[in-house]
Amino acid sequence: MKKIILYLVTASMICCYYSCDKENTTGENAAKELCARLERAFRLSSTSNLEQFFIDWNTSVSSNTGGENDITKTIYEIYRTFYNPLDLLILGDWEWGNSLNSSSKYVAVQNKIYYAVAEKELFDTYWRINRDSISDFRPQLDLPKNKVLYLLPEYAKALNAFLGTERSDENWKRYEFLRYQIPILCGHWGWYWHLATHPEISLMLIDTDKTVAKILFRVGYQGGEATLEKNNNTWVITESRATWIE
């Protein structure tokens, strides 16, 4: 009996490293190790191992301040006001209502955000405006800390490697295995993954006085635009609506 158990564990580990290695390039050890943990949990059908993976992620990666730059601080403030993935209806009407993220234990915050500073009269021609970005974006949120995951690159690579790039029954089972923990969404036009929990910001526009902002964002297979204004040092959403659907 012990030999059988040892064989099954060994086989699962071999499958694990093969699956994870084929989706990662040499040298990305952190992503491979994370993927290996997911693969072991899946092969053993171990919800406890999977839960521990997400607990460790939640407790080991914390928020950051984003530095002392005024623009960066403003972006962090705006995002904190805007981002409420558990109440999507405050941003508009969506095809899934408020259910997109409601059945998962965690939310995953995008790790990079694009922004531009410009006169607000130019917001409607945002595609002409030069933009910049913040990487390692880990803002504090108005959510319980034990629900928040920060989507560092090694976690994104591990999740993509685990989920795979080809449609198959097994890869769909992998997706369902993770979906109870994190609200990943399969791409609408192929076998790819929206890993960050929506609403996901594609661009944040800030006026030169840092008192008005416009956000372009995605919710599921739809997109929207939101306007925020700063009143008495507090950012408030003044308008938000869905503007497109795939």
Write down the pLDDT at residue 68. 79
CA dihedral 117, 153, 179, 140 (to 10 degrees): -50
Tell me how far apart the alpha carbons of residues 208 and 120 are, in angstroms, rounded to a whole number. Answer: 8
Higher pLDDT, 208 or 13: 208
Tell me how far apart the alpha carbons of residues 70 and 57 are, in angstroms, rounded to a whole number. Answer: 30
| 198: pLDDT strictly greater than 70 | yes
Tell me how far apart the alpha carbons of residues 129 and 206 are, in angstroms, rounded to a whole number. Answer: 11
Write down the pLDDT at residue 62. 97
| 174: pLDDT strictly greater than 90 | yes
| 17: pLDDT strictly greater than 80 | no
How confident is the prediction for the chain on average, in pLDDT?
90
Q: What is the mean pLDDT of residues 7-36?
A: 60
Q: Picking from 17-31, 73-87, 140-154, which range would have the lowest pLDDT averaged per residue?
A: 17-31
| 134: pLDDT strictly greater than 90 | yes
User: What's the whole-model pTM score?
Assistant: 0.89
Q: What is the mean pLDDT of residues 28-40?
A: 96
> What beta strand segments (E) does 118-164 contain?
132-135, 148-150
Q: Which tens digits make up the pLDDT trace of 42-72?
A: 999 999 999 999 999 999 999 998 887 999 9
Write down the pLDDT at residue 190. 82
Q: Which neighbouring-strand residues pair with 219?
A: 222
| 140: pLDDT strictly greater than 80 | yes
Tell me how far apart the alpha carbons of residues 1 and 3 are, in angstroms, rounded to a whole number. Answer: 5
Q: Which tens digits make up the pLDDT trace of 76-129?
A: 999 999 999 999 999 999 999 999 999 999 999 999 999 999 999 999 999 999
Q: Which tens digits make up the pLDDT trace of 228-241?
A: 999 999 999 999 99
Q: What is the mean pLDDT of residues 132-145?
A: 97
Tell me how far apart the alpha carbons of residues 225 and 227 are, in angstroms, rounded to a whole number. Answer: 7
